[in-house]
Structure 1
Amino acid sequence: MSGRGVERMLDLLEWLAETPGPYGLSAISTALDMPKSSTLLMLRSLTERGYLERLPAGDYALRRLPGDGAAGQGALLALVGPYLSRAVEETGESGFLAVLEKGRIRYLNKILPAREIRYDRDISMTRAAHKVASGVVLLAAGDDAALEAHAEAAGLSDEERAALLSAVDKAREAGFFLNLKGVVEGAAGAASVIRDATGRPVGAINISGPQPRLAAHAALVGAAVLKTATAVTEELRRRGSRISKGGEGKP
């Protein structure tokens, strides 16, 4: 592939990551100002390599980005972005997409509100799952054996284990968890789990902000994370249903 071809391939991947689809050949070709013939060749190549899915209607949807594992976190990022932006606008607080990796929470992105006093975390740092709202809801989405295994691996004291079990019970009952004692002093957060088309937990929507403000608007923030995570989960189910009913087909 020529240098220009590589640039176009990267342009295509970046556009799909930033603009949640799916999209058809004509829409992609027009948006990127590329000939349909060249666009189709790139779409076929990316589909064969597992970066895209070709849906029954002929549209293409991003599955993952280079460097992503099988979970396709790039596609999850692309899907979640607009939903998370609306939650940030609705609550006026900071929004994050979180995933659980080996007992720790990793934040994939953040969207900050347009206000002077706000919470901004360093998303390059991971957090112990039992200490943050996103971790609690993702642990709650698993089974009790996995929960006990986490408590054992983390070396939790009896008091810490009891606190975690109580938090998990609250998360399972409400569908979200509000943590008013964040890892960062003065910060608080609420989270709700995202599930894929098979029901497997794949991430969590998190809204965080200054503790006094979140405490004063706990109902609003809790409802926002639950609504947002539910909407993303439903979209993942719809996409999974379209693929399973029609098959991926061939480009």
Structure 2
Amino acid sequence: METFNFPGGCYEVMRRGMRDATAEADFLAAYLPPGGRVLDLGCGTGTTLRALAARGYAGTGVDSSAQFISYAKEAGDPGVEYVWEDVTRFHTSTVYDVVTCLFGTLNLVPYADLPGLLTRVASWLRPGGHLVLDAAHLLNFVDAYQPAVVTHHRGDGLLITRLARQVLRPLDGAWINDETLLVRGTDGTVSMYENTFAQTVLTGPEIRGLLRSSGFTIVEEFGGFRKESPAPSGRGPLITVARVS
């Protein structure tokens, strides 16, 4: 997996403009028993886990970015543990009521590593527990494709300009994102960060097939965290809820 080497505070600001943390936490809480535990693979700066901790749920967050994990630990809740590790190398003897893999984290895993990861995830779930996947699929990439994208994000006294370049690597089906972040801090100084990551392009049938071959039964599919139906065209988010067969 890729490592995101820029400050966690910048990620928090950008994520806030792209995601609804309250809707995500409400969605996940519906699958958690009172006092339940959650494992968030690719937890970023811990946004989702903090929202769940406020509802009384403990858990563990795993991420490959040292800066994101540092931010999460400083902002975190005593009931949440954070682990700096690539999710493909993470192992645990703890079992959880819910395992989550959100915001396209699954796409950051090389295709060859997906079956092994999902098989391990199945062993980390309690009987009756659920896996919640929020993965980008082929039409997400097609719809979103632009050779170059410039976006601006404001919050917490920061102004972030993100310049992103997208390239498809056809031989292995990888979508390459090459980003430059220009960040004006609260003191007016400007910093620049370079960030490159590859995403595995998956289709809906591939995601379902990977889950079934790893021992899961698909329970529900949604097009958003407010339990919208998946778009008939296949465009938009694909949120899959599964449990061990």
State the TM-score, normalizing by the size of structure 2.
0.30
TM score, norm. by length of structure 1: 0.30
Point out the structure with the larger strand share.
Answer: 2
Structure with higher Rg: it is 1
Greater helix percent: which structure? 1
